[in-house]
Amino acid sequence: MIKFSRWTAFAVSGAAAVSAAATVVLAALDARTAQPQSNRTRSSQDGFQEMLNDLVRTKGATAVLLRVRTAGGGEWSGAAGTSDVRTGRPADPAGYFRIGSVTKTFAATVLLQLVDEGRLRLDDPVAEHLPGVVPDGERITVRQILQHTSLLRDYMSDPGWSTNRWRGAQRFRSYKPDRLLAQAFRTPAQNSPDVTWKYSNTNYVVVGKLIERLTGRPYGEEMGRRVLRPLRLTQTIVPGDRPGLPRPHAHGYALLPDGRTVDATRMNPSLDWAAGEMISTTRDLGRFLDGLLGGRLLSPSTLAAMRAVRPTGAGFAYGLGLQEYALPCGKRMIGHSGQLLGYTTYALRSDDGRQMNLSVNLGSSPPPADKLYAFAGKVFC
């Protein structure tokens, strides 16, 4: 990975494994002011803005976009840094960004809606719906695919196949889902006998294929019909082969091993497909988590199955397309993190309605853990 992405090791959009330091970073979030709610809210806003400014001042980020909902229900959004280091234009808190593996939560939701409709069951073998597609698909279940317990090999572990690494001109190449699966399955998975959970982007390419096989429509269309339009997520996009982002957006940068910094903003995200291609805003991510965890998209039993997490040894527990983080104060947050080169995202919510949704464009100096813990404690504790 690029040099300055060590502190985001748990944002597992394209990473095959996650550091136990995950809990450290889940804290990075929040910003400016939407509607002053009270003296307490105003002071919270002031504190968040200074924390964001400090991340930029210390070169932990070139830009940070943040939206938070606090215990009293007050919402606050803001930004720090620049949207383009060449022009110095300020980052816009309403800007678009690549959400990476937060896409997995969206894709899991659509597949679980099909479970609610009786199109498939969580304990069905994958081969029942995708015959001949997944090796040993007769013994791997839909639940295992969603939960990353299938132990399928991650195609992004191969050189040149990860959107978390600079790929030069290859970043504009277009990929089809079948090509991604062919790369994943070209060699057998090699897992130690004691491994029971292993993060793999391959799983969510299979999720996208299941959606398309069961509905007869592209998964992006189903995403729009089932999630984006019902929740009025007008700022969330399934880009397909399109390399750019809508305006406004902050540029993402990559620091190469030879010391050069390159602009990584434009890329064809089809290498991620249903595992991590989507684009959104902090506003829409908040609406999505409220709609999903508030019961608007899934039946109570299916939502409970989605939220039933298991330990991973990676700094969080994992359900069906959801990560759960525990803070030292005893509070828990659920949602997902994501990373594509130049963009790192955290979309997290607690059951009492508190939220923090963050996009950070990484800088050259990883921020210390105490700064990051302070964000989580301020919002959730």
Task: Tell me if residue 250 falls in helix, strand or coil.
Answer: coil
Sheet-wide strand order for 75-84 = 89-90, 75-84, 61-69, 355-362, 343-349, 332-340, 323-326, 317-318, 310-311
Residues in Cβ contact with 6 at an 8 Å cutoff, skipping those fewer than 6 apart = 366
Helices (H), the chain: 22-25, 39-57, 102-116, 142-147, 177-184, 202-215, 219-223, 282-293, 300-307, 369-380
Q: What does DSSP assign to residue 350?
A: -
Q: Tell me if 61 sits within 8 A of 361, measured CB to CB.
A: yes
The DSSP element (H or E) to which 286 belongs, if any, is: helix 282-293
Q: Determine the Cα–Cα distance for residues 310 and 319; give it in Å rounded to an integer.
A: 6
Identity at 227, one-letter amino acid code = V
Centre a 10 Å sphere on the Cβ of residue 133 and count the other Cβ atoms it contains: 16
Residue 250 Cα distances to 8, 81, 85, angstroms: 18, 9, 9
Q: Determine the Cα–Cα distance for residues 187 and 302; give it in Å rounded to an integer.
A: 34
List the catalytic residues: 101
Q: What does DSSP assign to residue 183?
A: H
Identity at 280, one-letter amino acid code = S
